[in-house]
Amino acid sequence: MKVMVVGSGGREHALAWKLSQDNDVESIVSCPGNPGIAELGLCLPVDPCDATGLLRAIEEHSVDFVVFGPEDPLVRGTGELVAAEGVTVFGPSRAAARLEGSKVFAKLFMRRHGIPTAAFEIFDSYEKAISHVRSRNCRLIVKADGLARGKGVAVCSNAMEAESALKDAMVHRKFGDAGNRVIVEECVDGEEISVMAICDGSHYLLLPCSQDHKRAFDNDVGPNTGGMGAYCPVPWVDENLLNVIETSIVRPTIEGMAKEESCYRGVLYAGLMLTSRGPVTLEFNCRFGDPEAQAIFPATKVDLGKTLFAAAQGRLSRTERLGAFRNCVCVVACSGGYPGDYTTGKEIAGLERLADAEGVLVFHAGTKREGARLLTAGGRVLGVVGVMPTPSEAISRAYEAIKSISFEGIRSRGDIGSGGLRK
């Protein structure tokens, strides 16, 4: 079959890379794609949220199956519009994608179905939200309700920080309409992990757990980002813990969506905090994690095209878990200043030295071509992955490889995966 991958980031490059290894996949088209994906298939300048443009490309290139990478077109209903024309689409409906599109919906959904999550309050009034945080004067998390590209969550140590976060979201409109409503929730302590399941509405394939590193700087300090790196598998997540996660979070979510007539077909991403009282759900996403996908796909043996196609058609044969057969560590090389202000258009050098390097993969996230030159085109520029038999070897391989890459202002965290080793 001919597969279209919608999106342009590191996750989509990893998707295209994994799909290209599947015997069921004849060729890959991407909209709009990136220079890394262009080495695997055809890239077309179509916006991911342009249903008309996507349908035109699907018809012109005889595409059989469409895989949506980013959340925007799913939350806006673009995927649903494409599916309405008879195209097989992997990605949840607009109603199901509300699990990511509205944090308020997700928190109320969890409350309705008894899914463990942090205690929370919802506000659409800035004054009432300020009054609440002043009355608590403790560590809190402030979340903009809508999509904010991974930057709408502020972890606040005290009331002053929470007030600043509320002002950014509700007064300064830093996240646009996403800040019309906010959630203020308790800050829970523990280890954070990412759990993803490929779902067909009733059955699912649980992927190996991974751990993302969201803070900008080493030792988990600084502002939240879209993700500075990830590793897979998480060595201290055992079968007993997986059983708890499945029975208390994954399965009730899929069953709850079906009960509310929002059959969930796509990737269910659960960001969890492993607390002293058990796993607590921090957030849901309706797509593969980024950069988690860049670490998970190389660590697993799965015919991804065949599996996603079956899930999209509601015919996974059973519920099961997929194990990791090797260790992967993804380190993100980002632009100087990210996640704040940064400049683009910086020439990237050194990738040719990694083209045939053993145990190394490089996924493009924010790059563009200008003639023969490869330039930076985003905050997160490249995901450099070490693929080795052990966690320590994978970490060493990733950091050894990233030394070969250079562009003005390049920056990365130096501790991706080290927490897993200590644990």
297-346 pLDDT, tens digit per residue, is 999 999 999 999 999 999 998 999 999 999 999 999 999 999 999 999 99
Backbone φ and ψ for 77, nearest 5 degrees, come out as 95, 10
User: Is residue 422 very low, low, confident or very high in pLDDT (cuts 50, 70, 90)?
Assistant: confident
CATH number of the domain at 125-180, out of 3.30.70.100, 3.90.1330.10, 3.30.1490.20, 2.150.10.10?
3.30.1490.20
2-91 matches 328-422 in fold: no
Say how far apart CA 293 and CA 291 lie, in whole Å: 6
Q: Which CATH superfamily is domain 328-422 in?
A: Phosphoribosylglycinamide synthetase, C-terminal domain (3.90.600.10)
Helix (H, G, I), strand (E, B) or coil at 162: helix
pLDDT of residue 228: 97
Say how far apart CA 72 and CA 267 lie, in whole Å: 14
- Strands (E) located in 103-179: 120-123, 140-144, 153-156
| Averaged pLDDT of the chain | 95
Give the start-to-end residue ranges of the domains of the chain: 2-91, 125-180, 191-321, 328-422
Across the range 252-275, mean pLDDT stands at 96
What does each C-alpha distance from 209 to 11, 200, 325, 332, 347 come to in angstroms? Answer: 16, 19, 13, 19, 35
Is residue 20 over pLDDT 70?
A: yes
**355-386 b/e with 16+ CB inside 10 Å = b?**
eeeebbbbbbbbbbeeeeebbbbbbbbbbbbb
pLDDT tens per residue across span 68-119: 999 999 999 999 999 999 999 999 999 999 999 999 999 999 999 999 999 9
Nearest to 118 by CA among 300, 294, 271, 301: 271
Yes or no: say if 271 and 290 are a contact pair by the CB < 8 Å rule. Answer: no
User: Is residue 224 very low, low, confident or very high in pLDDT (cuts 50, 70, 90)?
Assistant: confident
pLDDT of residue 150: 67
CATH number for the segment(s) 191-321: 3.30.470.20
Domain 2-91 = CATH 3.40.50.20: yes
Is residue 421 over pLDDT 80?
A: no
Q: What percent of the chain has pLDDT over 70?
A: 100
Across the range 384-395, mean pLDDT stands at 97
- What are the beta bridge partners of residue 154? 142
Say how far apart CA 245 and CA 165 lie, in whole Å: 31
